[in-house]
Amino acid sequence: MRIILLVYTICLLVGTYTHARGLVHKGFLAYPVPLAIGLYWDALTVLDPLAAVLLWWRPKAGLWLTLAIMVSDISVNTAVYLAGYFGPPVPHMVPLTLFDQALFGLFVLVTAPLVYKDLPLMNDQTA
């Protein structure tokens, strides 16, 4: 299960890098999207690494936060794509970044119940 947590952590840190890079290069609320979406994307600069830390410090809280991030981020990004904020959507095509994110989200959704079930054992081993 620690390998799964490590995969979660690495992917969350990739997300952190992506959002931090956007803030550094383009600034706060730099994208042509509704304010709530811009705030959400900028907040992921803090939420992604927080989830990564919590996965190891408070695993259940980290797991719930990771699930919430992935479900909400994929939903928001899909809506932004379909709404055409960055250009018209291409029929039968999904942007590579959304596809990658969806694969990670699916991995989290499939493995989270297994990880959650195993967390009490993991905590007993580290105590």
pLDDT by residue (tens digit) across 67-83? 999 999 999 999 999 99
- Helix, strand or coil for residue 31? coil
d(CA 121, CA 1): 10
d(CA 104, CA 99): 9
pLDDT by residue (tens digit) across 10-68? 999 999 999 999 999 999 999 999 999 999 999 999 999 999 999 999 999 999 999 99
Q: Which helix (H) or strand (E) holds 37?
A: helix 35-57
Query: Would the pLDDT of 127 be above 50?
Result: no
Number of domains in the chain: 1
Q: Calculate Rg over the CA atoms of the chain.
A: 16
Non-local CB neighbours of 70 within 8 Å, separated by 6+ positions: 101, 104, 105, 108, 109
Range of the domain at 117: 2-126
